[in-house]
Amino acid sequence: MAKKLHLEILTPEARLISDEVEYVACPGILGQFGILGDHIPLLSALGVGRLDHRTGHKEGSFFVSGGFVEVRNNKVVVLAEVAEAAGEIDVERALWAKERAEESLYYAQTESDVERAQAALGRARTRLKIAGMSIK
Ligand code: ATP
């Protein structure tokens, strides 16, 4: 039987999960990485992306944006700036955020306008994908 990990996902507002799992895939700032039991100690910054966890046939996903993950002694602690369970993602809101970001990108005048709009677009697209929407 696979060794268990204790997964906690915390935001400044709430604890979203505190559970035993077998596998976690995290959106690190340098890309997605997987964590199984007996992983070496690790501290990584989080980017914007999808966090998946699995235990046998049970799976779950979260949207995560910014923060840190620490892996130590079979505990995975995610301190996220922003996170939502896949089922909590408000699709209408993300579609609206995507539209606004596309418009902001179109009218962007400065490099920082472009960066802000691209970041907002990235968050909206990622939320929509995690919510199971196929997007252009
Ligand atoms: P918006 O413009 O819709 O606020 P955003 O990407 O700027 O989107 P964030 O700064 O990432 O929003 O998050 C701000 C707060 O709003 C967080 O608490 C986050 O969980 C929540 N949030 C943002 N978008 C959604 C969504 N589509 N579904 C559920 N919660 C959301």
Checking if the pLDDT of 34 tops 90, the result is yes
CATH architecture of 5-87: Sandwich (2.60)
CA of 19 to the centre of ligand 1 (A): 24
pLDDT exceeds cutoff 90 at 119: yes
Among 80, 95, 105, 99, CA closest to 127: 95
User: In CATH terms, is domain 91-130 a member of 3.30.70?
Assistant: no
Q: What does the pLDDT average to over 117-121? A: 98
* Residue nearest atom 15 of ligand 1, based on CA coordinates: 82
Domain boundaries, the chain: 5-87, 91-130
Q: Does this chain's domain 5-87 share its CATH topology with 91-130? A: no
Whole-angstrom distance, CA of residue 85 vs CA of residue 64: 9
Ligand 1 cavity residues, CB under 6 Å? 65, 82, 84, 88-90, 93-94, 97, 120, 123, 127
Instruction: Indicate which atom in ligand 1 lies nearest the CA of residue 127.
Output: 27
User: Which pLDDT score is estimated for 3?
Assistant: 87
Q: Outline where DSSP puts E strands in the chain.
A: 5-10, 15-21, 23-28, 31-35, 42-45, 48-55, 58-72, 75-85
For ligand 1, atom 7, the nearest C-alpha belongs to 120
pTM for this predicted structure: 0.95
pLDDT at 100: 98
What is the pLDDT confidence band of residue 135, given thresholds at 50, 70 and 90?
confident
How does pLDDT run across 36-57, given as a tens digit for each residue? 999 999 999 999 999 999 998 8
